[in-house]
Amino acid sequence: MKYTIGTRGSKLALYQANFVKDKLENLGYKCEIKIIKTSGDKNQTSFSEIPLKKLFVKEIEEELLEGKIDLAVHSMKDMPYEEVEGLCMGAFPDREDPRDAIIVERPLKTIGTGSERRRIVAEQIYGEAQILPIRGNVDTRIEKMKNGDYDGIILASAGLKRLGLQDKITKYFGVEEMVPSPCQGIIGVQCRKNDVKVLDILRKIDKEEIRKIVEIERLYGELYNGGCKNPVGAYAEKIKNIYKIYTMRVSKDKLIKNIFEIDEFDIEKIKLEFMTKG
């Protein structure tokens, strides 16, 4: 049997889909990739106008529910917080560098970013520069900068590294300086809840520690309604037996940052901490 993997058609999305395909084929499962164009790919408006994350996954999830594909590969930071009935995340096989990064072409008078979260933090870091909206895939954004539309652009370092473009990075932002979007750099593999065969296969490439990190970061994002229009950042890492969690959100135009240290993976305890101090 050959398993069909659904994905968006950008270079980065295809890299991620092929990453999963290679892992499954190394285990002996034949796979093929199907490119699915989403509403988000067709919509090239600015970040102040774009609707929520659903734009980047809706059509893919519909094909999964209809049985046209067997599994779907997503960037977890693009996944809506509400679950779709009949679907589940079967595996989290990888996390690349979660940090944001800036590529600088010339003295910074204008900086492009497609993220409201990055815009707010960049305005504090680069007070004299104008922060402007930008859309398009990684290559398109770099080309716009080279053409003079922007002097620099801020992107996720995960995408740049996966595409072999890390040499273009001028600076990485520390996770405490520019808190990443929840699950930035994490690949998620989605399947049907009742597809026992695919679920069993995906368990072989699932990483339990990444799964816990996903739960923590998405919990914060969901609590504070993180999305394209409501900027939220959350990054968790396990150091020895401690979960260190960096968070940011905006409340009444005020940027709120926190660092939590939790001594066990107890999601209710973590939720209480977020609600009390978040």
pTM of structure: 0.92
d(CA 229, CA 160): 24
The answer to whether residue 213 is domain-embedded is no
Question: Contact, 59 vs 34, CB < 8 A?
Answer: no
Q: What is the CATH number of the domain that holds 65?
A: 3.40.190.10
- 17 and 88 share a domain? yes
User: For residue 38, what pLDDT is reported?
Assistant: 81
Residue with tokens 């164009």: 37
Q: 254: pLDDT confidence band, cut at 50, 70 and 90?
A: confident
Q: What torsion, rounded to 10 degrees, do the Cα atoms 219, 273, 212, 16 define?
A: 40
- 196 and 235 share a domain? no
Q: What is the CATH number of the domain that holds 227?
A: 3.30.160.40
- 62 and 199 share a domain? yes
Q: In what order do the strands lie in the sheet with 2-7?
A: 30-35, 2-7, 71-75, 186-192, 87-95
In the chain, how many domains are there? 3
- 24 and 50 share a domain? yes
**DSSP secondary structure, 165-178, as one string:** -GGG-SEEPPTTTS
User: For residue 15, what pLDDT is reported?
Assistant: 97
Which is nearest to 150 in space by CA: 192, 117, 119, 188? 119
Question: Contact, 87 vs 81, CB < 8 A?
Answer: no
User: For residue 47, what pLDDT is reported?
Assistant: 44
69-83: average pLDDT: 94
- 124 and 259 share a domain? no
Query: What domain range is 80 assigned to?
Result: 2-94+186-206
Which residues 6+ apart lie within 8 Å of 234 measured at CB? 179, 180, 181, 182, 216, 217, 218, 220, 221, 226, 245, 246, 247, 248
Token pair, residue 163, equals 């595409």
Is 78 designated active site? yes
- 18 and 89 share a domain? yes
- pLDDT of residue 44 exceeding 60, the answer is no
The predicted-structure confidence for 225-252, as pLDDT tens digits, reads as follows 876 567 999 999 999 989 999 999 988 8
Check 41, 70, 78, 94 and give the catalytic one.
78
d(CA 53, CA 138): 18
User: For residue 227, what pLDDT is reported?
Assistant: 62
Q: Which residue has the higher pLDDT, 80 or 226?
A: 80
d(CA 188, CA 74): 5
Positive or negative torsion for Cα 217, 223, 229, 231: negative
